[in-house]
């Protein structure tokens, strides 16, 4: 069967399964909508948690990011996995025992303040929308290639699918849909990884492929890397030949450390992951499901670094000094350039023949003059060689852009978000493998997008409307009946999907960059207040409110200035990038919260007793001296 038919088949079957599950698991109550009724099996919840946590950034963007950043990209692997361990071991069981299934609910009750709850609602919405922008962008990228539509149309299609099973099924529908999505994701990631490991190295275990030896010789454009070279050595030599920093050469270690820390603390404060521990019946089940989720996550995360290396080698081997016209017409033995033309149509890869030799030259430097180095195409017009015309490229190479004087100017623009999705095509893998990875990429983006949108809906309907706007001042309880609150939840989900779609069409950066920023904001806004809420009886509402506002404003303000406000990288505070600044925001939050809490009245005694009780294991008695 031809590739496009297989893609429609695989994606169509997966979508039919998701929608079928949503119809089967339709939410009939607010408990179903918010926490899936609290009766999900720990293994199923572990799979759903893994799918929820492993977003488009993990599946689509992370290997591509590492393939271009090299060892510095390891911060994302260490930060995200380390952060999940931190959340599962340090916070999740206590939050589950506290019994509040949203972060604003925890903050509002633990800090006995509607103001604190409102501040937390605003922070949750800010973090979740920043995060979901990356997911919707990922959906658009997958659709743009595999369903032959542009990125924006892909985002709109994704909005429709998410709308159906998140608005209808709520957390109950999303949970069981995410179980199916995890199965699709893991097979879609691991099968191509095994193929690539066998093709590129001497091992069929992809996790070990990064340490293997190459099974072929290839020309970097400057020198020939012989067969049998260790993969990392081959990468170091080939990309240094082309003027890039060696793959294994660390960059700014200080910034890498700050980024790793921000990602860890942000993971531990992510609202859509925390709520997962309330979908199981007991605290014990929450711990068990956390362990299963870690196993399910590790299967993919131990493979990503190898896939990143395979991707970069294949890009150089199959594109460097290739005659474009022969390549895209399939005239080169073992190569079919149809994939290049298709991604080019989506604006995610482009070639500009600067020296007029008809060949693709890939090296360091920007290939195009435009916003952030991205190409601007002249509609659907094509040159004599068949590729789309670029309106913002120079007509000839500048000497300053030549790669270390080796005479190779960069003519190739590659969006790093396509590396995982395009790699099976670059490597000429079977059509069914390519179709499978299309379904997996969509599963990754849709699973996390749905979880985030539900968090936003819950924050608005349950925490804002139910616990602030419609709260009885005398009884302290919500005056909303269950049916009305469920209606508010669904309306909020629809509004959130619309905003998410807009952000997917107009993203603030590439997928992993946007997601990293969301983690930094989550760290600065939530982590200190949550951890102090569990382990510090003296922490009060004044400290929590001041801390959340300080962390949120500092981190968002720093990111806004340097990403959109014209700030220059050379002016970074202590060399810390916006994505890494969440660590500083977390420290500011912690210091302000502790200082303010010690300068203001201590919490009521019942709150201090509550904090003490959630740290005592169920059934434990006082210690006795024998």
Residues 6+ apart with CB under 8 A from 85: 294
Mean pLDDT of 144-153: 74
Residue 176 and residue 178: Cα distance in Å, rounded?
5
For the cut 60, the answer to whether the pLDDT of residue 406 exceeds it is no
Residues in contact with 127: Cβ distance below 8 Å, sequence separation at least 6, in sequence order: 270, 271, 518, 521, 522, 525, 526
Q: Is the pLDDT of residue 622 over 50?
A: no
Residue (of 265, 276, 259, 287) closest to 452 by Cα position: 276
Least confident of 24-33, 168-177, 187-196: 24-33
Determine the average pLDDT of the residues in 56-64.
80
- In this prediction, residue 186 has a pLDDT band, given cuts at 50, 70 and 90, of very high
Is pLDDT larger for residue 377 or for residue 284? 284
User: How far is residue 373's CA from residue 350's CA, in Å, rounded to a whole number?
Assistant: 11
Of 52-56, 240-244, 291-295, 312-316, the one with minimum mean pLDDT is 52-56
Q: What is the pLDDT of residues 442-475, one digit of tens each?
A: 777 777 777 777 777 777 877 778 777 777 766 6
Instruction: Please enumerate in sequence order all residues whose Cβ is within 8 A of that of 181, keeping only pairs 6 or more positions apart, or say none.
Output: 14, 18, 51, 443, 444, 446, 447
> If you average pLDDT over every residue of the chain, what do you get?
80
| Res 399: pLDDT | 41
The pLDDT assigned to 545 comes to: 95
Q: Indicate the length of the chain as a whole number.
A: 626
Count helices and strands (H / E) in the chain: 26, 8
Percent of the chain with pLDDT over 70: 86
Nearest alpha carbon to residue 331 among 362, 312, 358, 367: 358
pLDDT of res. 334: 67
Q: Are 471 and 114 in contact (CB under 8 A)?
A: yes
Give the pLDDT confidence score for residue 508 in this predicted structure. Answer: 61
Q: Evaluate if residue 546 carries a pLDDT over 90.
A: yes
| Structural domains for the chain | 3-310+432-508 (1.10.4160), 320-421 (no CATH)
Residue indicated by tokens 């032959």: 148
Residue 167 pLDDT level (bands cut at 50, 70, 90): low
Q: What is the pLDDT of residues 304-326, one digit of tens each?
A: 999 999 999 988 988 888 888 88
Give the three-state DSSP class for 225: strand
Does position 12 have pLDDT exceeding 80, yes or no?
A: yes
Radius of gyration of the chain, Cα coordinates, nearest whole angstrom:
25
Q: How far apart are CA 490 and CA 467, in angstroms?
A: 17
User: Which tokens belong to 218?
Assistant: 């290839």
Q: What is the mean pLDDT of residues 373-392?
A: 69
Angle at 186 between CA 181 and CA 190, to 5 degrees: 155
Q: What average pLDDT does range 12-29 have in this prediction?
A: 75
Q: What are the residues whose beta carbons fall under 8 Å from the beta carbon of 206, sequence distance 6 or more?
A: 190, 193, 194, 196, 197, 303, 306, 307
pLDDT in tens, 168-180: 656 677 778 888 8
pLDDT of residue 160: 78
H/E run at residue 127: helix 114-146
71 CB neighbour count, 10 Å cutoff: 18
The SS3 of residue 26 is: coil
What is the CB-side half-sphere exposure of residue 183 using CA atoms within 13 A?
11
């Amino acid at each position: 069967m031809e590739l496009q038919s297989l893609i429609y088949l695989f994606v169509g079957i997966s979508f039919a399964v998701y929608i079928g599950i949503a119809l089967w698991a339709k939410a009939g109550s607010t408990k179903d909508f918010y926490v899936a009724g609290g009766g999900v099996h720990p293994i199923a919840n572990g799979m759903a948690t893994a799918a929820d946590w492993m977003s488009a950034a993990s599946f689509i963007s992370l290997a591509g990011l590492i393939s271009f950043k090299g060892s510095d990209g390891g911060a994302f692997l260490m930060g995200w996995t380390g952060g999940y361990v931190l959340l599962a071991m340090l916070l999740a069981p206590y939050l589950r025992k506290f019994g509040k299934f949203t972060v604003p609910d925890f903050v509002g009750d633990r800090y006995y303040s509607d103001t604190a709850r409102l501040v937390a609602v605003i922070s949750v919405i800010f973090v979740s929308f920043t995060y979901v922008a990356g997911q919707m962008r990922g959906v658009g990228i997958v659709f743009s290639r595999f369903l032959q539509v542009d990125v924006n149309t892909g985002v709109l299609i994704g909005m429709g699918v998410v709308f159906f099973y998140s608005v209808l099924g709520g957390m109950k529908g999303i949970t069981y849909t995410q179980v199916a999505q995890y199965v699709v994701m893991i097979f879609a990631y691991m099968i191509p990884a095994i193929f690539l490991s066998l093709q590129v190295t001497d091992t069929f275990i992809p996790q070990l492929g990064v340490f293997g030896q190459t099974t072929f010789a290839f020309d970097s454009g400057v020198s020939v890397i012989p067969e049998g070279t260790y993969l990392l050595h081959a990468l170091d030599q080939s990309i240094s030949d082309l003027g890039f920093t060696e793959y294994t050469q660390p960059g700014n270690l200080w910034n890498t450390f700050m980024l790793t820390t921000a990602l860890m603390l942000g993971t531990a404060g992510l609202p859509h992951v925390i709520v997962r521990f309330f979908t199981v019946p007991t605290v014990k089940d929450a711990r068990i499901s956390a362990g299963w989720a870690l196993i399910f996550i590790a299967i993919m995360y131990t493979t990503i670094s190898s896939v990143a290396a395979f991707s970069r080698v294949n890009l150089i081997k199959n594109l460097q000094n290739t005659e474009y016209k022969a390549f895209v017409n399939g005239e080169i033995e073992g190569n079919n350039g149809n994939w290049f033309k298709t991604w080019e149509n989506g604006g995610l890869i482009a070639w500009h023949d600067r020296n007029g030799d008809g060949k693709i030259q890939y090296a360091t430097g920007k290939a195009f003059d435009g916003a952030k180095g991205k190409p601007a195409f002249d509609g659907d017009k094509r040159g004599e060689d068949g590729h789309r015309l670029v309106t913002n490229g120079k007509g000839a190479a500048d000497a300053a852009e030549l790669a270390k004087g080796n005479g190779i100017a960069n003519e190739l623009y590659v969006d790093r978000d396509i590396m995982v999705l395009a790699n099976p095509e670059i490597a000429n893998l079977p059509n069914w493998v390519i179709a499978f990875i299309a379904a997996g990429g969509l599963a990754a983006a849709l699973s996390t997008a749905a979880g985030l949108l539900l968090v936003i809906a819950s924050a608005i309907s349950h925490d804002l409307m139910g616990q602030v706007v419609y709260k009885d001042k005398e009884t302290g309880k919500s005056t909303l009946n269950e049916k009305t609150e469920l209606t508010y939840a669904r309306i909020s989900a629809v509004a959130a999907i619309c905003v998410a779609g807009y952000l997917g069409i107009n993203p603030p950066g590439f997928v992993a960059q946007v997601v990293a920023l969301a983690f930094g904001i989550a760290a600065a806004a939530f982590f200190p207040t949550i951890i102090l809420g569990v382990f510090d009886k003296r922490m009060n509402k004044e400290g929590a409110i001041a801390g959340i506002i300080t962390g949120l404003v500092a981190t968002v303000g720093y990111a806004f200035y340097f990403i959109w406000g014209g700030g220059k990288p050379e002016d970074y505070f202590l060399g810390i990038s916006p994505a890494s600044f969440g660590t500083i925001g977390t420290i500011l939050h912690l210091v302000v919260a502790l200082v303010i809490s010690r300068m203001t009245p201590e919490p009521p005694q019942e709150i201090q007793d509550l904090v003490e009780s959630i740290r005592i294991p169920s059934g434990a008695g006082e210690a006795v001296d024998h």
